[in-house]
Amino acid sequence: MLALLGSIAFSGKAIIVKLAYRYGVDAVTLIMYRMLFALPMFALIAWWAGRGKARMSGRDWLGIVGLGVSGYYLASFLDFMGLQYISASLERLILYLNPTLVLGLSLLMFKKKVGWRQLVAIGVSYSGVLLVFGQEVDFQGANVLLGGVLVFASAASYAVYLVYSGELVQRLGSLRLVGWASLVACALCIAQFALLRPLSAAAVAPEVIWLSVLNATVCTVAPVLMVMLAIERIGATMAAQTGMVGPLSTLIMGVLILGEPFTPWIAAGTLLVLVGIWLLAKWKQ
């Protein structure tokens, strides 16, 4: 139940961002508000997880900054930028390709071998994304390519975080690492707004404020805690498999809340992505 609720809550982020864009706010301002409201909660997580633990070394802090930049700042900002141009459903499908990107990075950096079964699974997933991408171009025009590239870059940035975070997770613990790395991202997003926008840009519609509070609490901090608690109880493999409900929940919320189109082609593309990722996890085991 924790893994299920965490996946659904995290999927709601794209819906909230798309709703906020209707009030004329830009990505820099929107992500600043999200991180501003999330900052005290991540600070509490970092403090709580670090009680009674050994002090972090300079190497630990360097790793936290690097992972905070790639896994939370860049990944979040590129995702918010991409959502200006593509539907929430396509965004979730592209982000769901993350395991294939982790596999690719492991192949390039650690010379791991990839079997024909894994290549088939990757091909199935990417064919599903391309199917939905083609439909999106018909509905929303050429900017879909830009949005797709930005969200794919977001997924790649988060894949770098996953590949390099293993050692730090073992040394610091997952919650402590998430808390501090997220604080790095919060500071960068707030500093980015201060450098790129005048203070008057912070004057936004009240709806944007409430949507940002919802995004920071229900769709950012709460899913992190729920998924971590789920992994403690049922393990990472089962938690990841339960998380496959994410693209489906985004698709349903996109249709019901945002009025995004739903066609048999989009349903087929979503199914292909889910099947491909499921096969990749199964054959990897």
| Residue 241 confidence (pLDDT) | 67
More confident residue, 59 or 134: 59
Average pLDDT (89-105) is 82
| Residue 247 confidence (pLDDT) | 77
**55 has pLDDT over 80:** yes
Q: Give the whole-number percent of the chain exceeding pLDDT 70.
A: 92
CB 184 within 8 A of CB 65: yes
For residue 141, give every residue at least 6 positions away whose Cβ sits within 8 Å of its Cβ, in sequence order, or none: none
Average pLDDT (147-176) is 87
Query: What's the CA gap between 247 and 228, in Å, rounded?
Result: 20
**41 has pLDDT over 70:** yes
For residue 135, give every residue at least 6 positions away whose Cβ sits within 8 Å of its Cβ, in sequence order, or none: 261, 263, 265, 266, 269
| Residue 73 confidence (pLDDT) | 94
Q: Which domain holds residue 100?
A: 2-284
| Residue 61 confidence (pLDDT) | 94
Query: What's the CA gap between 21 and 208, in Å, rounded?
Result: 8
> pTM of the predicted model, to two decimals?
0.85
**258 has pLDDT over 60:** yes
Compute the radius of gyration of the chain from its Cα atoms. 19
User: What is the pLDDT of the chain when averaged over all its residues?
Assistant: 86
Total number of domains in the chain: 1
pLDDT in tens, 234-250: 776 666 667 777 777 88
Residue 154: what residue type? S
- Kindly give the interhelix angle for 2-21 and 222-234, rounded to the nearest 10 degrees: 160
Closest C-alpha to 94, from 139, 138, 125? 125
Q: Which two tokens stand for residue 48?
A: 């709580």
**Residue 243 phi/psi, 5° resolution?**
-65, -10
**147 has pLDDT over 60:** yes
The 10 Å Cβ neighbour count of residue 185 is 25
